[in-house]
Amino acid sequence: MIEHNKISDSDLRNKIKNAEICFGGNRKLKIYGTLKCSSGKRMKRENRVFFSTENEAKQNGFRPCGHCMKPEYLNWKNGLI
């Protein structure tokens, strides 16, 4: 897990370009989603964290976003995950 306020913008862009970062999350709400999610783009920088895989996000106690990851969210909500 990488906190947004502890990485420079250029390092962040390089990690995204090299597919080292594939998911973003809200540290306070414990929700993760895709990097293109409009909900994720609106969150405050100090609350934003990044993950390389879904498993990494789940291991840190995050749940899928109901907006950009609807099938995964429904599985989580119904207790299938």
Question: What is the rounded CA–CA span in Å between residue 49 and residue 3?
Answer: 4
What's residue 59's pLDDT? 96
End-to-end CA distance of the chain: 20
In terms of pTM, does the model score above 0.85? yes
Question: What is the rounded CA–CA span in Å between residue 74 and residue 21?
Answer: 24
81 has pLDDT over 90: no
What's residue 32's pLDDT? 97
- Enumerate residues 6+ apart whose C-beta is below 8 A from 34: 22, 23, 24, 40, 65, 68, 69
Q: 20-68: per-residue pLDDT in tens? A: 999 999 999 999 999 999 988 899 999 999 999 999 999 999 999 999 9
Q: 9-33: per-residue pLDDT in tens? A: 999 999 999 999 999 999 999 999 9
For 66, other C-beta atoms within 10 Å of its C-beta total 15
